[in-house]
Structure formats: structure tokens, C-alpha cells
């Protein structure tokens, strides 16, 4: 049993393999949070001594007793306008205008399996081992119940949380805030790590001490955004990659989100996370209920890298429902950076032919194949073929690609519409616009109102028709603008605050229908690169294009930042041309491949422009990737280097769970004239075992670039480490492959 109720102590304890989480039904039925941390037995409620705090309200029922207030003890899910002046998790408004939430324990239930959420992605129970705790809190004065849901995944070391709010009154209830999670950490000195960025520079880790007051990370773009990824870590001030307490919180949500972290008057931390509440409201009629998105929680005592590994496994094994999550992915070649909009059938088939000769499995036709799209000013919504470029339609093109022995993939951007499109001319009201105001354009396009069932249905039917009609093996699903002008003719005035969330629900509905009906299709998410790189998308799509910046040296930073929360197998990464189209930087071809192998591997260049020598190298790269692919997909990931962000190199390692093979990759980002020896220690090996080591140096000039082989003990590699021969030149790279020698 991973969930234990102790009736005497009135505690509910959730145990994962290495962590314990506890709450207690406290005075007056308030649900207190007593502990979350390293696995430990017993009743932790004694940690929280009652205290009379100046200017803190005491519940009326305590009469003259002033020694207890809601303002400082750790709460499981905070209300509002009811004695706790810290961050609120739930705020509702009754018809009378009375607002807030004063939540008291009503009942709980422990049941096997994972819980599901209405219209929202939630983790599955692939091994049949998950357990669910449901604790219902009530505020009879406002007429609401909040059912706190906890999914406990003991082996995977993760707890999921969500909340279901029900209107139990006789009038309407307006939710003004309904967070997925509230987590109080009463003791500790914390740093907040979050992942900020911008287009072509996503998920840059930023770490800073938690200060008194509130810090927040969020998006109001109705997309999780390039700017603030929905994932935060709260870690001990001294925590590092391989040591120290850390908590990770990842909303399973792709829309407008908000995570707030408060350090209160006592120095305690509170995290509240969920749908961004500023422009949100949701009206519930009597008996109606609202489900919040899910959030994933993980605690590790042994540092940031172990925390990342738990999220990686959880996403791969419990969250992502695509069959591709755990199977070999095709090596693809995408024509975007090869041609942009400028192609015709002959050109595409010539590229596909070269792709086949290089050893790729899948050819992807990117933007520009539909309507009259020859640039990004028109045709979104017109998902029929651009006959000017592809006379005769998609059929002969797909046949041509398939005849080469390749799979075929297609780009779409189904949530958008161009003003210059047949769709817009037929349904101008389907685009988001505020009445009386011209809508804001972004990349010359408008966003469709996915809150409207007829619009979401139209998208589903249009894509389903494409997938039924043509032999399409892969879809790249793009999304190239933030949403603004939020107003929908389909919602009454008092429900306009529901629009952003309803758009996200509409998207999930379409994705759910399509992925369920076409499980053989590999879907890759994309949003101008990694603008919607989140656990909600990953529940449906096993991979997401990581960034529009394909410069490998930039990608090192973006992919390393992404690795804090997300597995390598879900980061689309391509080898592109040099000089790079985004930065103009020149890099060696093999270094580009080493970096792209830390992701869903593919190519995005014109093979016709390559020399024969480069083509041979690419064949070797693809062969190498195929050898390593199962390891890279399923293995445990390690950020290598003692510092969080090493200055002169980037290194990462993937080791099989059985510790019988491992691959370390290294890129020298800053060659020095007189460098100190580059010495690294491996991770994830069996200290008692012996390993054969094969070092391959790529593009490291001349004599020192010799392959090296040897036999080493696991202990020597783990504790003494390995010194690399001097690497010389522009961005050389290396890979070290270790294979355990059978006893
Ligand atoms: C943005 C994507 O991130 C690119 O890879 C490419 O598909 C373009 N959109 C096409 O318009």
C-alpha cells in the first residue's frame, strides 16, 4: 500500500519509493500539510507547533483560544478570504457575491488505479500499480466541494495532483481561481529554478534564492510559451546536480499557466500552480463540476539530476500514451531549412531520393504544400494541395516518396487561419477577435476559436480526412503565434473568462481523437520551435520540436535546459546546414550530429548541396545513431560536469538502467590555447564491473584525434574518471561508448 490512513493520528501518508508525503486532518477539520520529503515513517504533525501570530485571524470556533490560526501552518489546499493571507489555491464566488473558500475535511477514499480528468490529459497506470487518494473538502457557506486527487506512483517516485470542484449549492458558483496544487514547505532555505526563454532560445535555467514576497512564472499566451516553461524546481540552497533536496513541479497543461512561489513572514515557502487565474473565471451551475489540470510532483534528496531522471521516466512510461514513446523512432529528413517555401515536386523528390541514399527512414514535407501558400502571408486553413507547386496533388508525391522506400510526413498548423484563405472568407467569425476592433496579426495569421465545438470538429474532420486519404506516417503539428483578442461569440458575457481554458480543452479534444484514431501516425508537436513544450502536449505527442534554433552550440544550452524536466527522446533535434541559418556559425558536421543525437534525431538540410565525403559521414552518423537509439531513448540521462553550466564544454551521458552500456557525448565549446586537461567522471556504471571503452573523436584535428579503446573498471571510471586527449579546432566533439564485459 503506498497510501496509508492512520485513524488515530488522523494522518494520510503517500509513499513513493524514496519520498513520503503526509497530510493531517487538523483542528476544526482543516486539512494540514505535515510533510513532503525523503521517505520516513510516522506522524509528522508534531513538527508544526501551534503559535499565536500577531495580526493573524483565529477561527471563531476556537473562542478565546488565540494559539492557532490558518495564517502560518502548512495547508494542503489553501482557501481565500478565510484567515490565511498567503497565496490562495481556490477562490469562488457565490451568487450573493460572497467569495473565497473556507475548506474543511469531509471524507476521503483510497482506491486502486489512476484517476482521470474530464477533457484533460492525465497520467495513466501502465503497470497497474498506481493508487489514488481522494480527499474531499467542503465550504458549505459557499456551496462547494473540492476533491483533492492524488495519484501515487511508488516505483516511478512521482505523485500527481489535481482538484475537482463541485457546486453543491442551489445557485451558480463562479470559480475565480482553481489551482491544481498547493504545496507548503515550512522549513528550509530554498532556491527557485525556472526555465525562461524566447523564440529560438527556449528553456534557459535560471536559479535564484527565494525571497520574501511572491515570485511567479507563467504565460498568458494560451500556450505554455517560449518565455516561461511550465516546470519549476525548488531546491535547497546547496543542492547541486548530484546532491541535495529538490522538489520538481510540472503542470500537465499547455494553455495559460501560472506558478507562484511565496516566502512568507515565517520564512516558509508555498507553491501554488495551475491555470493562470488573472483573466480566468468558470461558472458552475448546481451540481456541475470543474476539473483542474494535473500537476506532477517529485521530491529527490540526491540532487537535480536524479529529479530530472524521475520526470524523464514518468513522462515516457506513465504520461505519454503514444506507442512511439517506447519504440524506435524513424530518422527523418525535413525540407524546411532546405527549401523553405520554394519547392516543387521534382525538387522534393530529389531531396527525398538523397535522403533515402543517406539512410533516412522518413521524409517530411514542411510548410508550403497547401492552398496558395508561397510565403507565410496566406492559406492557413486551406488544407488542400497547392496545385501550382504539386500538380496532381499529394498522391503522386507520396507515391514517389514511398516508392523510394521512405515513410512520408506532413506539416500542418491546424489551429490557425490566414486572413487570405478560403476558410477565413467562409467563416470570419471562427477567428478570435474582440468586437469592434481589428484583431492583432502575428506572422500574418489569426488564431481559430477552439472553444467552439464546430471549429474543433472541423479541425478534427479536416485532419482525419487527410490521414484517411493519404498514407501519412508522421504529422508535424505547428502553432506559430500567441493568442490575444480573447473573445468568443459563442460564450455569453459572463463566461468570457472561460475562453482561454476552453480553447486548450478544444485542442486536447482534437488531439485525443486524432491520436486515438490514428495510433500508427507519429505526431510531433511544434510551436515556432519549442513554444509549447510541455507535459500536456507530451501526453499525446511523443516528441516536440525543441527550438527553431538549429545551431548546435546554441542547442547545447537549449537541450540541456530542457533536460531538467523532459527526456531526450521527446526533443526533436536536427542536423542542419553550416553556416547555420539562425546564427551564421560554422560547426563541424559530426558535432552537429552528436548534438542532434541528444534528441529525436533527424536532418534538415539539402543533401544535394553536400559533398560525397559529407554524405559518407552522414551515413555513418545514421548507422551510429541506430546502434545507440534504444539506449538514448530508454536510458538514464546524466548532466556531466561538476558545475551547473560548464564554461568550456558541454557533456552528457546516457546509461542503461542495467548499467551494462553507456554513451557519453562531449562538445568543446571553447577551445583554449593552453587548456587544462579535460577530465570527466562517468555516472551510472557498476563499480564492480569491467567495461570496454571506445572513444571516438570527431573533427578534433590531427594526431590527437585517434580512436582509443581500452578496458577499465566501473569504479575507475566513476571515481577516478577519464582524461580526454586534447581536442583542437572549432567545436570538436567526442563520444565514449562503454560496454560491460560479461562476467
Ligand atoms: C515554425 C517551425 O518551428 C519550423 O520548423 C517550420 O515548420 C516553420 N514554422 C514553418 O512555417
Q: What angle do CA 565, 667, 604 make, to 5 degrees?
A: 75
Task: Residue 422: name the closest of 375, 475, 345, 370 by CA.
Answer: 370
Give distance in angstroms: CA of 367 to centre of ligand 1. Answer: 7
Q: Grid coordinates 527525398 are at which residue?
A: 352
Ligand 1 atom nearest the C-alpha of 366 is 7
Q: Which pLDDT belongs to residue 726?
A: 87
In this structure, what C-alpha cell is assigned to residue 431? 477567428
In this structure, what C-alpha cell is assigned to residue 98? 460572497
Q: What angle do CA 672, 674, 677 make, to 5 degrees?
A: 90
Distance CA 58, CA 61 (A): 8
In this structure, what C-alpha cell is assigned to residue 209? 534564492
Which residues are CB-neighbours of 333 under 8 A, at least 6 positions away? Answer: 351, 352, 355, 358, 360, 362, 363, 364, 602, 603, 604, 607
Distance CA 231, CA 241 (A): 17
Q: What is the DSSP letter of 585?
A: -
Ligand 1 site-directed mutation target among 478, 479, 558, most atoms within 8 Å of CB: 478
- Cross-strand partners of 254: none
Write the CA distances from 37 to 13, 159, 300, 306, integer angstroms. 12, 12, 8, 14
Distance CA 27, CA 47 (A): 15
Distance CA 549, CA 616 (A): 25
Distance CA 293, CA 277 (A): 13
Distance CA 443, CA 455 (A): 21
Task: Residue 540: name the closest of 559, 562, 558, 518 by CA.
Answer: 518
End-to-end Cα spacing for the chain = 37
Contact 292, 180 (CB under 8 A): yes
Task: Residue 362: name the closest of 615, 574, 544 by CA.
Answer: 574
Distance CA 135, CA 142 (A): 18
Which residues are CB-neighbours of 32 under 8 A, at least 6 positions away? Answer: 23, 24, 25, 26, 45, 48, 73, 74, 75, 76
Q: pLDDT for 160-184, tens place per residue?
A: 999 999 999 999 999 999 999 999 9
Per DSSP, helices labelled H in 535-652 are 535-540, 552-563, 589-596, 612-634
Q: Which helix (H) or strand (E) holds 345?
A: helix 345-358
Which residue, judged by its Cα, is nearest atom 2 of ligand 1? 528
Ligand 1 site-directed mutation target among 198, 202, 332, 336, most atoms within 8 Å of CB: 336
SS3 601: strand
Instruction: Give residues (CB < 6 A) around ligand 1.
Output: 336, 366-367, 411, 478, 480, 526, 528-529, 545, 548
> Catalytic residue positions?
534, 614
Q: What is the DSSP letter of 316?
A: I
Strands 522-525 and 474-477, by their bridges, are parallel
Give distance in angstroms: CA of 226 to centre of ligand 1. Answer: 14
* pTM (two decimals): 0.98
Based on the number of CB atoms within 10 Å of its own CB, is 643 exposed (0-12), middle (13-18) or buried (19 or more)?
A: exposed
Give distance in angstroms: CA of 362 to centre of ligand 1. Answer: 18
Distance CA 657, CA 635 (A): 6
Contact 280, 301 (CB under 8 A): no
Write the CA distances from 510 to 251, 460, 530, 533, integer angstroms. 20, 6, 20, 18
Give distance in angstroms: CA of 223 to centre of ligand 1. Answer: 16
Q: Grid coordinates 475562453 are at which residue?
A: 499
Write the CA distances from 252 to 76, 127, 225, 344, integer angstroms. 20, 20, 14, 40
Q: What angle do CA 230, 439, 445 make, to 5 degrees?
A: 70
Radius of gyration of the chain (CA): 27
Mean pLDDT by 10 residues, the chain (743 residues): 96 98 96 98 92 90 91 96 97 98 98 98 96 98 98 98 98 98 97 98 97 98 98 97 97 98 97 97 98 99 98 98 95 98 98 98 98 98 96 97 98 98 98 98 98 98 98 98 98 98 98 98 98 98 98 97 97 98 97 95 98 97 97 97 74 97 96 89 98 89 62 97 90 96 90
Distance CA 664, CA 668 (A): 13
Q: Which pLDDT belongs to residue 703?
A: 39
Q: pLDDT for 260-290, tens place per residue?
A: 999 999 999 999 999 999 999 999 999 999 9
Task: Residue 381: name the closest of 345, 336, 427, 442 by CA.
Answer: 427
Give distance in angstroms: CA of 377 to centre of ligand 1. Answer: 14
Residue 318 has phi, psi (to 5 degrees) of: -120, -25
Ligand 1 atom nearest the C-alpha of 476 is 7
Contact 355, 649 (CB under 8 A): no
Give distance in angstroms: CA of 542 to centre of ligand 1. Answer: 18
Q: What angle do CA 402, 389, 396 make, to 5 degrees?
A: 25
Q: Grid coordinates 529525436 are at which residue?
A: 600
Q: Which pLDDT belongs to residue 644?
A: 56
Write the CA distances from 710 to 384, 656, 664, integer angstroms. 57, 20, 15
Which residue, judged by its Cα, is nearest atom 10 of ligand 1? 367
In this structure, what C-alpha cell is assigned to residue 96? 450573493
In this structure, what C-alpha cell is assigned to residue 403? 516508392
Distance CA 241, CA 250 (A): 19
Q: Compute the mean pLDDT over every residue in the chain, rounded to the nearest whole number.
A: 96
Q: Grid coordinates 492583432 are at which residue?
A: 440
Q: Which helix (H) or strand (E) holds 209?
A: strand 201-209
Task: Residue 599: name the closest of 628, 641, 571 by CA.
Answer: 571
Task: Residue 560: name the closest of 656, 641, 479 by CA.
Answer: 641
Q: pLDDT for 512-547, tens place per residue?
A: 999 999 999 999 999 999 999 999 999 999 999 999
- Cross-strand partners of 551: none
Q: What angle do CA 556, 318, 300 make, to 5 degrees?
A: 65
Which residue, judged by its Cα, is nearest atom 11 of ligand 1? 367
Ligand 1 atom nearest the C-alpha of 411 is 7
Q: Which pLDDT belongs to residue 702?
A: 43
Distance CA 535, CA 526 (A): 13
Residue 209 has phi, psi (to 5 degrees) of: -65, 145
Contact 670, 553 (CB under 8 A): no
Ligand 1 site-directed mutation target among 444, 482, 526, 581, most atoms within 8 Å of CB: 526
SS3 257: strand
In this structure, what C-alpha cell is assigned to residue 381? 486553413
Q: Which helix (H) or strand (E) holds 71?
A: none
- Cross-strand partners of 94: 173
- Cross-strand partners of 214: 262
Distance CA 257, CA 631 (A): 34
Contact 311, 296 (CB under 8 A): yes
Amino acid at each position: 500500500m503506498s497510501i496509508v490512513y492512520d485513524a488515530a493520528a488522523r494522518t494520510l501518508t503517500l509513499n513513493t519509493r524514496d519520498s513520503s508525503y503526509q497530510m493531517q486532518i487538523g483542528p476544526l477539520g482543516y486539512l494540514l500539510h505535515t510533510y513532503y520529503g525523503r521517505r520516513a515513517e510516522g506522524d509528522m504533525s508534531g513538527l508544526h507547533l501551534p503559535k499565536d501570530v500577531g495580526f493573524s485571524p483565529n477561527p471563531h470556533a476556537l473562542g478565546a483560544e488565540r494559539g492557532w490560526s490558518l495564517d502560518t501552518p502548512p495547508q494542503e489546499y489553501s482557501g481565500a478570504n478565510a484567515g490565511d493571507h498567503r497565496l490562495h489555491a481556490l477562490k469562488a464566488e457565490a451568487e450573493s457575491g460572497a467569495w473565497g473558500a473556507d475548506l474543511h475535511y469531509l471524507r476521503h477514499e483510497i482506491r486502486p488505479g489512476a484517476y482521470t480528468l474530464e477533457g484533460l490529459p492525465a497520467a495513466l497506470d501502465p503497470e497497474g500499480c498506481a493508487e489514488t487518494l481522494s480527499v474531499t473538502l467542503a465550504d458549505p457557506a459557499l456551496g462547494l466541494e473540492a476533491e483533492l486527487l492524488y495519484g501515487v506512483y511508488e516505483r516511478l517516485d512521482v505523485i500527481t495532483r489535481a482538484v475537482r470542484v463541485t457546486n453543491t449549492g442551489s445557485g451558480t458558483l463562479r470559480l475565480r481561481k482553481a489551482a491544481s496544487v498547493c504545496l507548503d514547505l515550512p522549513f528550509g532555505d530554498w532556491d527557485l529554478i525556472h526555465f525562461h526563454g524566447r523564440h529560438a532560445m527556449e528553456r534557459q535555467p535560471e536559479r535564484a534564492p527565494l525571497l520574501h514576497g511572491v515570485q511567479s512564472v507563467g504565460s498568458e499566451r494560451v500556450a505554455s510559451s517560449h518565455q516561461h516553461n511550465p516546470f519549476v524546481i525548488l531546491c535547497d540552497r546547496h543542492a547541486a546536480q548530484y546532491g541535495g533536496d529538490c522538489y520538481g513541479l510540472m503542470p500537465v497543461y499547455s494553455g495559460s499557466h501560472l506558478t507562484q512561489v511565496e516566502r512568507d513572514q515565517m520564512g516558509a515557502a508555498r507553491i501554488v500552480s495551475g491555470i493562470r487565474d488573472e483573466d480566468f473565471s468558470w461558472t458552475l451551475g448546481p451540481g456541475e463540476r470543474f476539473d483542474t489540470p494535473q500537476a506532477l510532483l517529485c521530491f529527490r534528496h540526491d540532487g537535480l539530476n536524479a529529479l530530472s531522471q524521475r520526470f524523464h521516466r514518468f513522462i515516457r512510461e506513465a504520461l505519454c500514451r503514444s506507442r512511439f514513446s517506447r519504440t524506435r523512432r524513424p530518422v527523418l529528413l525535413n525540407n524546411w531549412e532546405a527549401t523553405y517555401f520554394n519547392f516543387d515536386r521534382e525538387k522534393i523528390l530529389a531531396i527525398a531520393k538523397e535522403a533515402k541514399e543517406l539512410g533516412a527512414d522518413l521524409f517530411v514535407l514542411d510548410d508550403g504544400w497547401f492552398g496558395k501558400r508561397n510565403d507565410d502571408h496566406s492559406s492557413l486553413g486551406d488544407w488542400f494541395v497547392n496545385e501550382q507547386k504539386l500538380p496532381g496533388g499529394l498522391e503522386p508525391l507520396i507515391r514517389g516518396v514511398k516508392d523510394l522506400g521512405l515513410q512520408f510526413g506532413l506539416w500542418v498548423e491546424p489551429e490557425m487561419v490566414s486572413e487570405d484563405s478560403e476558410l477565413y472568407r467562409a467563416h470570419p467569425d471562427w477567428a478570435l477577435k474582440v468586437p469592434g476592433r481589428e484583431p492583432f496579426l502575428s506572422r500574418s495569421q489569426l488564431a481559430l476559436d477552439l472553444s467552439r465545438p464546430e471549429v474543433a470538429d472541423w479541425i478534427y474532420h479536416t485532419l482525419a480526412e487527410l490521414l484517411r486519404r493519404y498514407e501519412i506516417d508522421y504529422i508535424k503539428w505547428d502553432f506559430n503565434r500567441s493568442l490575444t483578442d480573447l473573445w468568443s461569440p459563442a460564450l455569453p458575457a459572463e463566461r468570457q473568462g472561460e475562453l482561454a481554458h476552453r480553447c486548450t480543452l478544444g485542442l486536447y479534444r482534437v488531439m485525443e481523437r486524432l491520436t486515438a484514431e490514428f495510433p500508427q501516425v507519429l505526431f510531433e508537436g511544434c510551436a515556432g520551435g519549442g513554444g509549447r513544450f510541455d507535459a500536456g502536449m507530451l501526453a499525446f505527442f511523443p516528441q516536440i520540436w525543441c527550438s527553431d534554433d538549429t545551431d548546435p552550440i546554441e542547442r547545447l544550452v537549449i537541450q540541456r535546459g530542457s533536460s531538467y524536466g523532459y527526456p531526450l527522446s521527446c526533443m526533436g533535434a536536427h542536423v542542419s546546414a553550416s553556416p547555420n541559418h539562425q546564427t551564421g556559425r560554422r560547426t563541424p558536421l559530426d558535432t552537429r550530429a552528436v548534438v542532434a543525437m541528444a534528441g529525436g534525431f533527424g536532418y534538415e538540410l539539402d543533401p544535394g548541396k553536400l559533398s560525397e565525403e559529407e554524405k559518407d559521414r552522414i551515413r555513418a552518423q545514421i548507422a551510429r545513431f541506430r546502434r545507440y537509439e534504444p539506449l538514448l531513448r530508454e536510458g538514464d540521462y546524466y548532466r556531466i560536469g561538476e558545475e551547473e553550466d560548464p564554461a568550456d564544454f558541454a557533456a552528457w551521458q546516457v546509461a542503461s538502467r542495467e548499467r551494462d552500456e553507456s554513451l557519453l557525448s562531449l562538445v568543446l565549446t571553447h577551445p583554449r590555447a593552453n587548456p587544462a586537461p579535460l577530465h570527466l567522471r562517468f555516472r551510472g556504471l557498476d563499480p564492480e564491473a569491467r567495461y570496454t571503452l571506445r572513444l571516438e573523436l570527431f573533427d578534433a584535428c590531427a594526431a590527437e584525434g585517434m580512436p582509443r579503446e581500452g578496458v577499465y573498471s566501473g569504479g575507475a571510471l566513476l571515481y577516478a574518471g577519464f582524461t580526454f586527449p586534447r581536442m583542437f579546432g572549432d567545436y570538436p566533439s567526442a563520444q565514449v561508448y562503454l560496454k560491460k564485459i560479461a562476467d
